Chains A and B, each alone.
Chain A
Amino acid sequence: MIADRADWRWPRRITGASGVLVAGLGVFALLGWMLRVPAWPSLWSDTTPMAPSTALLFLVLGTAVCVRAWLPRADTSLRWAVPIGVLVTLIGLVLAVTSSMGIFLKVEQLGIPILITPGQYPLGHMSPLTAILFVAGGLSFLASLRWPVARRRLPQASWWLACLLMAVGLILTLGYLIGVDQLHGIPAFPPAALTSASFFLLGIGLLCLADLRARQVDPRSVGRELSFGLLLLIFGLLAVGIITIGTLSYRTYEDNYRNEVDRQLLAVWQLKVIELEDWRRGWIGDAQVLYGNSTLSGLVERFLEEPQDQESRRQLTEWLGRYPAAYECDRVFLIDARGVERLSVPETGVALAPHMIQEAAAALGSREIAFLDFQRAKPSGQVYLALLIPVIDGQEGSRPIGTLILRIDPQVYLYPFIARWPTPSETAETLLVRREGEEVVILNELRFRRGSALNLRFPLTQLDLPLAAAARGETGFMEGIDYRGVQVTAYVGPVSDSPWSLVARMDTAEIYAPLQGRLWQTIAFFGLLMAASGAGLGVFWRQERLRYYQSRAETAEALRASEEKFRKAFLITPDAVAISRLFDGRFVSVNAGFTNTLGYAETEVAGRSSGELGLWVAPEARKEFVARLLALGTVHNFEAVFRTKTGEHRQGLVSAAIIELDGEPHILNTTRDISERKRAERELQVLSSRNVAILAAVPDIIAEVDENKVYTWVNRAGVEFFGDGVIGKEAAFYFEGEQDTYALVQPLFDGMEETFYIESWQRRQDGENRLLGWWCRALKDAQGNVIGALSTGRDVTERDRAEARLRESEVRYRTLVEYSPIAIFVSRSDRVVLANEVCFQLFGAAEPGELIGKSPFELFHPDFQASIRESFHELRDHGGAVPLKEGKIVRVDGTAVDVEVTAASFQDQGGASIHVVLSDITERKRWEDDLRTLNAELELGVAARTAQLEDANKELEAFAYSVSHDLRAPLRAMHGFSAALLSESRDRLDEQGRHYVDRIGAAAKHMGELVDALLDLSRIARREMGHQPVDLSALAREVAAELQTQDPQRRVEWVIADELIAQGDANLLSVALQNLLGNAWKFTGPRLQPRIEVGTLPRTSPASAPASGGEEGGTIYFVRDNGVGFDMAYADKLFSPFQRLHGMREFPGTGIGLATVQRIIARHGGRLWAEAEVDQGATFYFTLESA
C-alpha cells in the first residue's frame, strides 16, 4: 500500500514546505557569505550572522526532509538518508564540544572570508547551542526513518526530539523578536536569529515526518485520531498568539520606561540650564553696578593719580574687597590705562596673567563689560572665569581710567553645581562643553575623569558623540558613546547668551538594567504559557491515541469472532468458494463446495491458477470478469461456463470481491452451479411460450377463478375485456345487475355440475355491457374437491343484437303496414298476398278472400290496368320504385275512387314482391277547389289591410311632423341656456360646474342629431319613390368629392367602378351611398393607406352573399374599405337603428346611417348585408330590385 492516503497529505505538505524553507534559508545565508553581503546571514540587523557551517547543515537537513516528504518511494530507502542523519549528528556533536570549549575551527568557515569586524562574539562560527540542536535534529531525522524493524518507540523519540527543536527555535526567535540586545545575558553565545527561525521550521518538518512514520508503523491508526497536522496548526496558532501578546506587553513596558528616563533626563537638563543662565545674568548685573558708578570711578582716578594716598587705597580696597568675601570671585584686580596692575584684592603677590592684561586693555578700549570664559591660568593651571569692567572718568564721561577684573573660581560654586544629579544614579552626569574651532572642549570636571576641564577635547565630526552634537548646537535626545566609549543616552542643548552647551547623559546600560529583568520575566512567563499549551495539546493527542488503541483492541476481538463465523460459512456452503491471489491468480484456499462442483481435490488446486486448470471455458469471459473486478472491487452474479475436471461444462453464477489477506490483495469468489436451474428454465421457457402464444391468440376470454370465484388468471382477451385489475377481483363484480345469472353457476362450485353454459351481460372495462356466453368447467384437486373453475367466454352481443334487430324489423314492418292510415297491399307473382285494414276499407271488402289471392291489376279501373301491369312487371324485373301516379280503383261495390299509386319491389324468401301503396285523393281534389275560392277572398282582405296600412303611414307622417317641429325646441333651449350660463355665469361656476354645463350642451346637441337622423330615416319610408336609371358611379364620385371637401387633409384612395347604372330613386340611392361611403371614410380614419372601393361582383362569382343572395340574380354592388372593420358576431345588430359597434369617442355617429341604408335598399326591393373582420376592413353588399 504505497498510495498516499488523503489524510497523510497535509503532514506531507507541511513537511515539504518546511524542508524547502529550511534549505532555502541555508542557501540564502551561504549566498550572503559568498557574495559578501553580510546583511543576509544576519538578516539586516547588527546581530550575529548565521555561520556558514550552520547554513550548510540546514541546507543538507532541509533538503533531506523535503525529499522524504515529496518522494514517498525515496522514503523507503535508507541508503542515502542514514549517512545524512549520521553526518549531521556527528558534526553537531564535534562542534558542540569544540565550541563550548572556546575552540573555533577555521574549517567551519568553509574557506569563506568573514568580513564583519569582530565584536563580542566569534563570528562565522557555530554557537554551541546550535550544534546541540543539530545533534537533536539529526537524531530525530534518523529515528523517523523506515528501519527494517518497525518499532513504535522510534517515531515517538523522533517526535519528541522534533518538538524540542521546534520549542528552542521558537523561544530563541521570540527572544530576537523582543530585542536581541537583551539576549546577550545568556552564558554561551546564542544562535543567530536566522538560525533560530530555521530550527523552528526544521522542528515542524521533522515533527510531521515523525508523525507520518508513526502512521506507517501502525497504518490502521489513520483516520481514527485527531489529525496531527490539525494539532500542529492549533499549536502554531497558539504560539503565534502568545508570542505576539508577549512581545507587545514587553514593548509597551519598554516604551513607557524609556519615556520615563527621557523625561528625567530632560528635566535635569532644563533645571541646570535655567540655573546656569541665572548665574551668568547675576554676574553681569553685578558688573553693571560697578560700571556706571561715578563714586567708584572718582575713587579709582584718585587712587591712580595719587598712589600714595592711603585713604583712597583704603577705600578702594574696602570696596572691592567685598567681592571676594561674599561671592565666588577669588580676586579683584585694578589695571590702569597703561596696562599695569595697580591693585589686587586680596593681595597675594601673584601677578595677573599677561593675556588677562591684554583682555583688560581690549575691554577698556571698547568701554564694554566683557565676560571672559573658562580658561586656565598659566602659571597655576587653575581654571577661572573673569568679568572685565572698564572704569570711565566720572566728570568728563569719556576718558578711560582703568579696568576692574573680577576673577571667578568655578570650583567654588559652578563645578559642584554641574556635577550634582538630583536622583541617585551610578552613571548620570551633566557636561558643560564649548566649541573651539573644529573641536569640542569639556569645561567642567567629570565624574569619571579627573582634570578633564579644558583638557578633554574631541573632534566635532565624531557623529556618535553626544558631546560633539551639543557643541554643534544640536538640541534633543540622542544615543551614542561618551568620553569613556560607553553607550549612553543623552539630552543635549545650548545654554542661551553663552558659548556653552549642556549635556545631560546616563549610561544606556544603567537605563536598561531594570528592563533586562523584565525581559527575562516576560520570556519566562510566555515561554511557560507556550510550554503549557504545547503540553496540553500533546496530552490531548496522546489521549486520542490511547482511545484509538483501545478501540482497536476491541475491533480486533470482534474481527476474530467474525472471522471464525465466516470461516465456518466458507467451509460448509454448497457453493464453490475459492480464494486466490490477485497478483497471479493462484488458489490459496478452496472449500468443499468447490471440490464437489468442479471435481478437483483441494491438493490438485492449491498453488495453481484457474488458467492452468482451464476452469473457464471462455477465457475472454474471465478477462472481462477480472476487468470488472479490478474496476469495481466487487462483481455480483457474473454468469459464466466452467469446465470440471472431467471436462463437463457447468453453468455458474460468480460473485467476487477483492480482500486483503496478510497485506496482500486476494480475490474471494463464490460460484453457484446453476446448470440444472438453467436447463429447467429453458424447458419451461419453450413450454410456456407455446402456451402463452395459444392463450394470447385465442379471441375468446379464458379465465380461471378459485373456489371463492375470485379471478386468479385470465388470458389476454380477458384482460382486454375486464381491464388490468381483473386478477384478484371477485367475478360478481363483473356481473352487475345479473345476480340471477350469477347464481346459476353455484352448482358448479358445489360439485353438482362438471360443465356449464350460461349467457350473461357483463360490464366491459370501457363501461359497456356485453353479452358473454360462458363455458365453465370445474377444477378439482386430487380429492375431488372443487378448487375453482376454468371458463371460456365469448362475446355474443353482436349475434344477439342481430337477431333482435331482425325480429324488431319484422315487427316494425308488420305494424307499419297493418296500422298505416294508407292502404297497402303486397303482390307476389301477380297475386295479392297481403292487404292492410285500410286497404280493405278502401275497397269496401269485408272478407279477406275478396282481395287476397286476386290479381292486383283487376283491382284497378280498366282504363289504368294496362299501365299498372306494365309498371309492375318493370318493377319485378328490374327492381326500384314507381313514382307517384294518379289512377282509379274499382271498389268491391263497383264504384270508382281516385287514388294515387306508388309501388316498390323488394326481395324476400318467396322471390320478388311488390308493395303497392294507394292513397285516396278524393278529399284532396275537393281541397284544391276550396283553395281557389279562398284565394279570391284573400285578395279582398289584402286590399282592406293596405288601406289600414296607409292610415298608419299617415299617422306616422303626422308623428314625424310633430317631432320635427316640437322635439328639437327643448333641446335648443337646453343647449342655448347652457351656453348662456357658460358665457354669463362662467366665473360663478367652478371647473366641475363648467364641465357639467358643457356636458348638458353636448348631450342636447347629440340628441338634436339623433332626432334629425330619425327624421331622415322616417322620411325615407314616407317618401315617394322614383324609378329611373341612376348612375351610381357618378353619385359615388359626388359623395367622395364632398367628403374630401369636408376633410381636405385626408388622402383616401378611391376605386369607383365606371358605369354602375341601376334602376331606382336617385335621391334615396344618393343618401344610401352617402351613408355607406361616409362610414367607409370614417372607419378608415386610423389607416395609413386608406382605400375605399365601389363596384359590383361579377355575376358568376360565388357571391359572398349569404343564403339566398345569389339566387336573386340581381347585380351585387359593394362598398369595400380597409378600415377598422367589426366583429361579425354583431353583424345582426348592424342595421337596427341606434346600434353602434364602435365607441362614441373613437367614431362619433348616430347609429342611424346603416338603418337608413337598409330602408332604402329594402324600398328598392333589394338586400343589404355586410362582411367584415376586426381590423381587416368591411364590405357592404347590396342588391337592388332585380327587374
Chain B
Amino acid sequence: MMEPRTILLVEDNPDDEELTRRALKEANIANEIIVARNGLEALDFLFGTGAHADRDLTRLPQLILLDIKLPRLNGFQVLERLRADPRTRLIPVVILTGSSEEEDVLASYQLGANSYVRKPVEFERFTDVIKQVGLYWLLVSQAPPIKPQEAV
C-alpha cells in the first residue's frame, strides 16, 4: 500500500488549525498535514517557490483544505491560481470557512472548488464535518490520477 499522502491545510488561525488537526486525528486520518498560514505560503508550497523553493514537487497533497479569509492572498485568489495551473488543477480543494455568505459559496464553486464546507461552532459537529470531509475525499472518493513526472 502506498504511503498516505499529505493534506494541505491553508489556515491562518492557529486555533482553527489545531482544532482541525484534532478533528482529523479523532477521525483516525493519519495523513501528514502540512499547514500554510496564508495564501502566498500555500502557493509557495504547492509550486515550490519562496520558502519552499527546494521542496520535492513530486509530492503533492491529496487534499487541500482552504480557508477563504487569509492574509496576503485570500482563498479565492489561491483557488484561482491553483485551478489555473495544470499541476494543481485536479487536486481536490475543499473550501473550509466560517462564512455562509451566498456570494462566497457562489464564488467558490465558480472558481472550481470541489466542495464548500462551513465550519460549525460546536466542536462535535466540527469534528464530524472534518471527519466526513476527510473520509470522503481521502477514502471514498477516487483521487484524480496525478503523475508527478507529468507535473514536472
What residues on A are CB-neighbors of B123 within 8 Å? 972, 975-976, 978-980, 1001
Q: Pick the contact of B121 from A961, A964, A1005, A1015 — CB < 8 Å?
A: A1005
Given contacts A976-B126, A979-B123, A980-B123, A961 and B101 within 8 Å (CB-CB): yes
Quick check: A973 and B68 within 8 Å, CB to CB?
A: no
Measured between C-beta atoms, what is the minimum distance from B122 to chain A in Å?
Answer: 5
Any A CB within 8 A of the CB of B57: no
A970, B16: Cα distance in complex, Å: 9
Q: Is the CB of A966 within 8 A of B98?
A: yes
B126 pairs with A968, CB closer than 8 A: no
- Residues of B contacting A960 with CB < 8 Å? 101
Tell me if B69 counts as interface (CB < 8 A to partner A).
yes
Q: Which residue in chain A gives the minimum CB-CB distance to B67?
A: A965
Which residues of B have CB within 8 Å of A969? 13, 15-16, 98, 119
- With A965-B69, A979-B124, A1001-B123 known as contacts, the answer to whether A973 contacts B16 (CB < 8 A) is yes
B98 touches A965 (CB 8 A): yes
With a cutoff of 8 Å between Cβ atoms, the chain B residues found around residue A977 in the complex are 15, 19
Smallest beta-carbon distance A1043→chain B, Å: 21
Q: Cβ of B22 < 8 Å from any Cβ of A?
A: yes
For residue B99, CB closer than 8 A to chain A, the reply is yes
With A964-B98, A980-B22 as known contacts, state yes or no: A972 contacts B119, CB within 8 Å: yes
Q: B100 near A: Cβ within 8 Å?
A: yes
CA distance A968 to B126 in the complex (A): 12
A975 touches B119 (CB 8 A): no
B62 within 8 A of A: no
Closest residue of A by beta carbon distance from B23: A976
**A1004 contacts partner chain B, Cβ-Cβ < 8 Å:** yes
| B100 and A972 contact, CB distance less than 8 A | no
In the complex the two chains form, what is the Cα distance from A944 to B101 in whole Å? 30
Choose among B97, B99, B104, B126 the residue with the greatest number of A CB atoms under 10 Å from its CB.
B99
Q: Is the CB of A975 within 8 A of B121?
A: yes
Q: In this complex, what residue of A is CB-closest to B75?
A: A965
Nearest to A970 among chain B residues (CB) is B15
With A965-B68, A979-B123 in contact, do A972 and B22 touch (Cβ < 8 Å)? Answer: no
Contact with A along B116-152 (1 / 0, CB 8 A): 0001111110100000000000000000000000000
Closest B residue by C-beta to A1006: B121
**Nearest Cβ on chain B to A497's Cβ, whole angstroms:** 112
Asked, given contacts A1004-B121, A1005-B122, whether A972 binds B19 with beta carbons under 8 Å apart, the answer is: yes
Would you call A1124 an interface residue if the criterion is a C-beta within 8 Å of the partner chain's C-beta atoms?
no
B22, B68, B101, B121: the one contacting A971 at CB < 8 Å is: B121
Question: A1008 to B22, alpha carbons, bound, how many Å?
Answer: 20
CA distance A427 to B121 in the complex (A): 127
A977 to B124, CA, bound (A): 11
Residues from chain B with Cβ under 8 Å of A1001 in the complex: 122-123
Q: Min CB distance, B136 to chain A, in Å?
A: 21
Contact, CB under 8 Å: B124 / A972: no
Instruction: Tell me whether A964 and B13 are in contact (CB under 8 A).
Output: no
Provide the bound-state CA to CA distance between A978 and B124, in Å: 11
Q: With A and B bound together, what is the CA distance between A966 and B19 in angstroms?
A: 16
In the complex the two chains form, what is the Cα distance from A845 to B67 in whole Å? 89
The verdict on A1012 contacting chain B, using a C-beta distance below 8 Å, is yes
Partner of A972, one of B68, B98, B99: B98
A972/B101 contact (C-beta < 8 A), A965-B68, A966-B69, A979-B124 known: no
Closest-by-CB residue of A relative to B102 is A1019
Query: B13, B22, B102, B122 — which one has the most chain A CB atoms within 10 A of its CB?
Result: B122
In the bound complex, CA of A966 to CA of B124 (Å): 20
A960 to B98 alpha-carbon distance, docked (Å): 12
Within 8 A of B (CB), among A395-450: none
Q: Is the Cβ of A976 less than 8 Å from the Cβ of B22?
A: yes
Report the minimum CB–CB distance from B101 to chain A (whole Å): 5
Mark contacts of A977-1012 with chain B using CB atoms, 8 A cut-off: 1 yes-contact digit, 0 otherwise: 111100000000000000000000100110111001
**Contact status A968-B69, CB under 8 Å:** no
Q: Produce 1/0 per residue, B1-25, CB < 8 A to A.
A: 0000000000001011001001000
Contact of B101 among A964, A978, A1005, A1008 (CB under 8 A): A964
> For window 90-105 of chain B, which residues contact chain A by CB distance below 8 Å?
97-102, 104
**Within the assembled complex, what's the spacing in Å between the Cα atoms of A48 and B102?**
134
Chain B residues with CB under 8 Å of A1008's CB are: 120-122
Roughly how many angstroms separate A504 CA and B15 CA in the complex, as a whole number? 124
Known: A965-B68, A971-B121, A972-B119. A1012 touches B100 (CB 8 A): yes
Given contacts A965-B69, A1001-B123, contact A976 B19 (CB under 8 A): yes
Contacts of B19 in A (CB 8 A): 972-973, 976-977
A1012 to B119, CA, bound (A): 12
A973 to B123, CA, bound (A): 8
Interface centre among A964, A969, A1015 (most CB of B within 10 A): A969
Q: What is the minimal beta-carbon distance from B71 to any residue of chain A, in angstroms? A: 12
Q: Which residues of A contact B16 (CB under 8 A)?
A: 969, 972-973
Query: In whole angstroms, how far apart are the Cα atoms of A964 and B15 in the complex?
Result: 17
How far is A968 from B121 in the complex, measured between Cα atoms in Å? 7
Q: How far is the CA of A966 from the CA of B119 in the complex (A)?
A: 12
Cα distance A276–B73 in the bound complex, in angstroms: 145
Given A976-B22, A980-B22, check contact A965 B122 (CB 8 Å).
no
How distant is the Cα of A960 from the Cα of B124 in the complex, in angstroms?
Answer: 26
Smallest beta-carbon distance A859→chain B, Å: 75
Cβ of B97 to closest chain A Cβ, rounded Å: 7
* CB closest chain-B residue, reference A984: B22
Residues of B contacting A1019 in the complex (Cβ-Cβ under 8 angstroms): 101-102
Tell me which residues across on chain B come within 8 A of A1004, comparing CB atoms: 121
Which residues of B have CB within 8 Å of A968? 98, 119, 121
A964 adjacent to B100 (CB under 8 Å): yes
CA separation between A1007 and B19, bound complex, in Å? 18
**Alpha-carbon gap, A967 to B119, bound state (A):** 12
The verdict on A965 contacting B22 (CB below 8 Å), with A971-B121, A973-B15, A1001-B123 known, is no
Report the bound CA distance from A503 to B21 in whole Å. Answer: 124
Q: Which residue, of B16, B99, B102, B123, has the highest number of chain A Cβ atoms within 10 A?
A: B123
Report how far A657 CA is from B6 CA in the complex, Å. Answer: 133
Give every chain B residue within 8 A of A967 (Cβ-Cβ): 98
- Residues of A close to B101: CB separation below 8 A: 960-961, 964, 1015, 1019
Q: Which of A971, A973, A1015 contacts B100 (CB 8 A)?
A: A1015
CB closest residue in chain B, given A979? B123
What is the minimal beta-carbon distance from A684 to any residue of chain B, in angstroms? Answer: 104
Nearest to B100 among chain A residues (CB) is A964
Question: Smallest CB-CB separation from B121: which chain A residue?
Answer: A1008
- B120: chain A residues within 8 A (beta carbon): 972, 1008
C-alpha gap A581/B19 in the complex (Å): 127
Q: Are A976 and B99 in contact (CB under 8 A)?
A: no
Can you show 12 pairs from A to B with CB atoms below 8 A apart? A961-B101, A965-B68, A965-B69, A965-B97, A966-B98, A969-B16, A972-B123, A973-B13, A976-B15, A980-B22, A1009-B121, A1019-B101
8 closest A-B pairs by beta carbon, nearest first, are A1008-B121, A973-B15, A979-B123, A976-B123, A965-B69, A976-B19, A968-B98, A964-B99
